Amino acid sequence: MWRNWTLLLVLSATSWAQEAQLEGVTVDLDTGHPLAGVQVRVFSIPDGTESRAYGAVSDREGRFLIGRMQAGTYVCLGEKPGYVAMRKNSSAVPNVIVKAGEHKTDLKLELMPRSTISGRVLDEYGDPMQNINVQVRPVSAEASTALLLAGESTSTDDRGEYRLLVGPGRFRVQATFNGMTRSETRTDGTAPITYTPTFYPGTPVADRATPVEVAAGADVRGIDIRMSAAAAGPGSGGPAVDGIVTGLPEGVPTASVYLEFAEPGQGARSIQSGTNSKFRFAIPFSPRGAYKLFARAYENGRLLKSQTVEFSESAPPSGVELRLTAGFEVTGTLTGVGGKHAIRLQGSESLSGDADVEGAFKLTGVFPGKYQLLVESLPENGYVKSVEVDGAAFASDAVTLARPARLKATVATDGGQISGSVLGADGDKQANNLAMVIISDAKGEFTSTDERHSARASSDGTYTLRGVAPGKYKLLGLDLLRLGSGDSELLKKLSVLAEEVEVKANDRLRKDIRAVSREDLDAKK
């Protein structure tokens, strides 16, 4: 009995020795003075097991102490009425890495007296608009911005009014119409009204917006945004991409038309519109870069989709015809591996089917586009070596389909493995699932982050990429907490920080890689 108690005490002492402490100070970023009564929240991001959260309140000298913490990476926030937490730029999230048994004493949480921006959002007639999303964007991406748990956005009320909590700085204020157009039949030739995202005071172009200057603790009022409706059809005036949708079955009165675009740091976004009684559409247009235009409708649950029209801001189409179809059929065979396997075509639409024991499969409802052919439940180092489309070979799992076709997918099982640790800026392991490693395609481009091309860091800071086809690649480690959005343009810029690696058949490579962020990219300039 005594021996058991002794063992328990030894184990408890060992456990306590491994627990960490986090000590820091909360300060007023405007004055530099300590802040008392700040609710300090420290929490981990769930990694498939558990999410840990700790808290404390700062004393009169702004000091706080959190004890008995488990090792890991934590997001840190300070909350106090009348203040907002600040972050260095619009993408990084305040975080700290705590090691087992460590007593960390240098955490500094900065809060700024809260400021506000308020106003109304009005339509083209001057009437208030409800449920419009309003957000602020710093004029400079490097500017300090307020970090709010709900993000730097809000929605207008029934009087069209909004109020945003912000920190000091210069901001662009943008209003975005989030309404879904109703599926309805109209006999007057009109189309449901849509609105283009608009910056204060009333322009769709960010560079033409009037910046709003906000001082610490100030309340800036009267920032009213006048939104413009899209044109109802060609020739009616207003900036719009217009056209007609054809191929609607009888009994389907309208189609949904989508205009997709990418905004820096925001990823892909879209504006949705409907068609009028003559199946015409008009979607507000403003210069943003590259666009994709397509239409969709449903007939008794069956998806109908048009071709995708791609264009740039310098060449917006007018009078475009979007023809709806039910897609086409793709058949094929899977070779190089036995047994039944699920086949998936991953693109703008995801389609799946099953290959039988002889490798035969069939996919219906395929629309023209670029796809990645994925095979589920492959051997550990299996990969799709090549795909033939009607006899034409593609030296990877990426294919372009434009019409009914027959595929032949060949699987190989001599893929390599790349494993190692994901390291932080200080060389320590990133022991959290918000660090990851992605591998380029054969051309050295980072265009895919699916399960066969990326790996999250595990709880011990390690990663493993399996089934890598022999060849030369680039490896890029990403610190997602400091990275923010991971749009394709950002990945392209970060590729200069990637490391080159060559994988041979059945290789087992060991490669520790540092997780990078925007800050590393800025430091390289």
Q: At 305, is the pLDDT very low, low, confident or very high (cuts 50, 70, 90)?
A: very high
User: Which two tokens mark 223?
Assistant: 């920032």
Q: What is the mean pLDDT of residues 117-142?
A: 86
DSSP at 29? T
What percent of the chain clears pLDDT 70, i.e. is strictly above it? 79
How far is it, in rounded angstroms, from Cα 248 to Cα 241? Answer: 20
pLDDT value of residue 431: 63
Residues 401-410, mean pLDDT to the nearest whole number: 93
Q: Residue 420 has what pLDDT?
A: 93
In this predicted model, what pLDDT tens digit does every residue of 153-179 receive, in sequence order? Answer: 789 999 999 999 888 888 899 998 765
Is the model's pLDDT at 235 over the cut of 50? no
Residue 197 scores a pLDDT above 90: no
Q: Residues 333-350: what's their mean pLDDT?
A: 88
Find, among 364, 375, 372, 295, the residue nearest to 333 by Cα.
375
CB 258 within 8 A of CB 271: yes
pLDDT of residue 6: 38
> Which pLDDT does position 487 carry in this prediction?
60
Closest CA to 74 of 150, 19, 22: 22
Question: Of 5-14, 446-455, 496-505, where does mean pLDDT reach its minimum?
Answer: 5-14
Q: How confident is the model at residue 70 (pLDDT cuts 50, 70, 90)?
A: confident
User: What secondary structure does DSSP assign to 173-218, as a single string?
Assistant: EEEE--PPPP----SSS-----B--EETTTBS-GGGS--EEE-TT-
pLDDT at residue 72 in the model: 77
Range among 370-384, 429-443, 478-492 rated most confident:
370-384
> Which of the given ranges, 81-90, 123-132, 440-449, has the highest pLDDT on average?
123-132
pLDDT at 270 over 50: yes
| Residue 40's pLDDT band (cuts 50, 70, 90) | very high
What mean pLDDT is predicted for residues 101-122? 90
Assigned token pair, 164 = 């945003």
Residues 6+ apart with CB under 8 A from 411: 334, 335, 336, 337, 375, 378, 382, 383, 384, 385
Average the pLDDT over 130-148 and give the result. 72
> Which range, 79-93, 400-414, 440-454, has the best average confidence (pLDDT)?
400-414
518: Cβ–Cβ under 8 A, 6 or more apart, which residues? 89, 91, 92, 482, 483, 484, 490
444 vs 386, which has greater pLDDT?
A: 386
Q: Which residue has the tokens 């719009």?
A: 240
Cβ 493 vs Cβ 520: under 8 Å: no
Percent over 90 (pLDDT), the chain: 33
Longest dimension (CA), the chain: 92
- Answer yes or no: are the C-beta atoms of 366 and 330 closer than 8 Å: yes
For residue 509, the model assigns a pLDDT of 95
Q: For residue 145, what pLDDT band results from cuts at 50, 70 and 90?
A: low
Whole-number Å distance between alpha carbons of 192 and 213: 36
- Mean predicted lDDT score pLDDT of the chain: 81
- Domains belonging to the chain, first-starting first, are 2-113 (2.60.40.1120), 115-323 (2.60.40.1120), 328-411 (2.60.40.1120), 416-524 (2.60.40.10)
Q: What are phi and psi of 206, to 5 degrees?
A: -60, -40
* pLDDT band with cut points at 50, 70 and 90 for residue 494: confident
For 369-505, where are the E strands, in sequence order? Answer: 369-375, 383-389, 392-394, 398-401, 405-412, 416-423, 435-439, 454-456, 462-468, 471-479, 499-503
Task: Classify residue 189 as left (phi > 0), alpha (psi -120 to 50) or beta.
Answer: left
Cα angle 14, 17, 23; round to 5? 160
* pTM (predicted TM-score): 0.66
| Residue 189 in this model has a pLDDT that exceeds 70 | no
Which amino acid, 34?
Answer: P
pLDDT of residue 500: 92
Q: How far is CA 296 from the centre of its chain?
A: 23
User: For the residues 330-335, what does the mean pLDDT come to?
Assistant: 94
Scanning the structure block, which residue is given the tokens 């490798």? 359
Q: Are 429 and 462 in contact (CB under 8 A)?
A: yes
Q: Indicate the pLDDT class of residue 7, thresholds 50, 70 and 90.
A: very low
Q: What is the mean pLDDT of residues 33-51?
A: 80
Q: What is the mean pLDDT of residues 395-418?
A: 90
The more confidently predicted of residues 219 and 522 is 219
CA distances from 202 to 137, 193, 228, 229 (A): 16, 17, 8, 11
Give the pLDDT band (50/70/90) at residue 393.
Answer: confident
Residue 426 has what pLDDT?
72
Mean pLDDT of 53-59: 93
CB 363, CB 375: distance < 8 Å: no
Q: How high is the pLDDT of residue 3?
A: 43
Tell me the residue type at 264: P
pLDDT of residue 77: 85
Residue 479: count other Cβ atoms within 10 Å of its Cβ.
27
Cβ neighbour number for residue 395 with a 10 Å cutoff: 11
Name the more confident of 8 and 510.
510
